[in-house]
């Protein structure tokens, strides 16, 4: 296997100039941006970007931070190598987090892989060539990479390396390009976007960046913040979100737990009381804010009482959106060697209980919208259903949140903003009519 730093190097070294290439993207929105940059650079170097069926070279941009994600990535690698064996592919390249974390093991185990390329290092200057993989009306903008926080259960900082922010000029230039292309909604992403600028500007600069983003956007009407870190959320940031119409009243802030001893064991740098005060402050300053959060159950040493405390916290705080995860024991993390690892069956039970409690809360919070008129962005027409469109309100991020089923006699297009009168709600979705 020829060592290659980047995919372009590999193609150059392998006489694969102008080869047709396809990418399988796995994992999170941050990985999706990496795949867009890989494709942008390949197209720039004269390669044809095609579907898997007609490609010479298949690239899988893997995810590798927890067990389930690793398994999914390995399954795709095996499938691609089968296609290569059948002569349907010439080359298979494995990129991304799994490749970065287990490069040598993968090379050992899968001799037919042609190149193993780790993660693409974020460029802090300039605007990377990108082949958008999202629908043309919305885009993810990665403003920084990795994080400082060293949560004891998380391997990402080890995979992604040193925290790096893009310069404001680099981010603003990219957003100007997206705006000129008619993009209507952008999602600001990173591992911890609330650390933005701590490296290059020596201070938390997300609020300052947002003020400048607002000033350069015309077509873009919605700016959404994904992956904030609770302990880094500043009053200035909350005020900007509250004040600026274009910034969605939506905050994605994984809390992970609420028990003080476990927050310490997770190295989350925030206490139970500080968390409660933060949530109250956010709700107090941003009326009707939608808080998306996430919790890990089954962290080593988590007792039944600790879990009950988390469950009661979720009942009391009534978050709009909750993602639940079972603790995944990852070698190379601090928590890996912690005593009192919780049995898988108990983790599963706790996750089921958490999501059952949240389901009732989610339904009742969704029902609050019945009778209201909401601004909705249309993503697509529902297949095999006339006059029904799939959309999202400012309270719904793509892929991870619910939908608004929009009934409209007039033709709508992806990217249209419409006002919708809500007439029904389920746990996660809304139903309404265009007005
Ligand atoms: S904030 Fe914590 S969980 Fe998130 S990427 Fe950083 S170390 Fe991992």
Q: Which fold has domain 7-118?
A: Rossmann fold (3.40.50)
Decide: 266 in ligand 1 pocket, CB within 6 A.
no
What's the chain's Rg over C-alpha atoms? Answer: 22
Residue 324 Cα to ligand 1 middle (Å): 15
Q: Is 156 in the pocket of ligand 1 (CB under 6 A)?
A: yes
φ/ψ (deg, to 5) at 431: -130, 135
CA of 177 to the centre of ligand 1 (A): 30
Distance 361 CA to ligand 1 centre (A): 27
Kindly state if the Cβ of 189 falls inside 6 Å of ligand 1: no
Atom of ligand 1 nearest to the CA of 65: 8
pLDDT digits (tens, 9 = 90+) for 151-164: 999 999 999 999 99
Q: What is the pTM of this model?
A: 0.95
Would you say domain 138-367 falls under CATH 1.10.287.610?
Answer: no
pLDDT of residue 385: 86
The torsion region of residue 322 among left (phi > 0), alpha (psi -120 to 50) and beta comes to: beta
C-alpha 61/C-alpha 84 separation (Å) is 17
Measured CA to CA, the distance from residue 142 to residue 30 in angstroms comes to 7
- What contacts 296, CB < 8 A, 6 or more positions away? 153, 256, 257, 266, 325, 326, 327
Q: Is the beta carbon of 191 within 6 A of some atom in ligand 1?
A: yes
* Cβ 56 under 6 angstroms from ligand 1: no
Ligand 1 touching residue 147 (CB < 6 A): yes
Which residues of the chain have a pLDDT value below 50?
1-3
Ligand 1 site, residue 151, Cβ cutoff 6 A = yes
Helix or strand holding residue 14 (H, E):
none
**Smallest CA separation from ligand 1 atom 2, residue:** 151
pLDDT in tens, 3-13: 455 666 766 66
Mutate to test the pocket of ligand 1, among 146, 147, 159, 227 (most ligand atoms within 8 A of CB): 147
Phi/psi for 228 (5° steps) reads: -95, 160
The CATH number assigned to the domain with range 373-434 reads 2.40.50.140
Can you tell me the distance from the alpha carbon of 29 to that of 89, in angstroms, rounded to the nearest whole number?
27
């Amino acid at each position: 296997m020829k060592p290659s730093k980047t995919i372009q190097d590999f193609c150059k070294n392998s006489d694969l100039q102008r080869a047709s290439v396809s990418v399988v993207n796995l994992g999170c929105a941050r990985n999706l941006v990496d795949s867009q940059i890989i494709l942008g650079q390949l197209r720039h170097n004269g390669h044809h970007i095609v579907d898997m069926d007609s490609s010479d070279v298949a690239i899988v941009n893997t995810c590798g931070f927890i067990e389930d994600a690793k398994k999914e990535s390995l399954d795709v690698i095996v499938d691609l190598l089968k296609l290569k064996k059948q002569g349907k592919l010439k080359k298979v390249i494995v990129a991304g987090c799994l490749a970065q974390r287990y490069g040598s093991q993968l090379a050992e185990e899968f001799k037919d892989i042609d190149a193993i390329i780790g993660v693409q290092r974020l460029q802090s200057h300039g605007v990377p060539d990108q082949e958008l993989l999202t629908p043309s009306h919305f885009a993810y903008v990665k403003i920084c990479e990795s994080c400082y926080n060293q949560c004891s259960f998380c391997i990402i900082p080890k995979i992604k390396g040193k925290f790096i922010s893009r310069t404001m000029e680099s981010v603003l230039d990219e957003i100007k390009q997206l705006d000129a292309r008619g993009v209507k909604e952008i999602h600001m992403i990173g591992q911890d976007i609330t650390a933005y600028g701590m490296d290059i500007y020596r201070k938390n600069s997300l609020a300052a960046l947002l003020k400048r983003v607002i000033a350069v956007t015309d077509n873009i009407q919605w700016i959404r913040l994904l992956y904030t870190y609770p302990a880094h959320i500043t009053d200035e940031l909350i005020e900007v979100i509250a004040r600026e119409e274009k910034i969605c009243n939506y905050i994605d802030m994984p809390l992970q737990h609420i028990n003080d001893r476990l927050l310490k064991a997770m190295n989350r740098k925030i206490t139970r009381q500080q968390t409660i005060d933060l949530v109250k402050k956010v709700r107090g300053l941003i009326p009707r804010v939608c808080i998306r959060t996430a919790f890990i159950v089954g962290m080593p040493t988590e007792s039944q009482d600790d879990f009950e405390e988390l469950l009661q916290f979720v009942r009391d705080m009534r978050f709009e959106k909750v993602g639940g995860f079972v603790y995944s024991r990852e070698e190379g993390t601090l928590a890996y060697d912690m005593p009192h690892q919780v049995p898988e069956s108990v983790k599963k039970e706790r996750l089921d209980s958490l999501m059952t409690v949240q389901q009732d809360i989610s339904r009742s919070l969704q029902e609050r919208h019945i009778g209201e008129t909401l601004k909705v962005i249309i993503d697509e027409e529902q297949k095999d259903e006339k006059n029904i469109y799939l959309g999202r309100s400012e309270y719904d991020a793509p892929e991870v949140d619910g939908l608004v089923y929009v009934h409209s006699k007039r033709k709508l297009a992806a990217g249209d903003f419409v006002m919708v009168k809500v007439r029904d709600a389920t746990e996660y979705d809304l139903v309404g009519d265009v007005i």
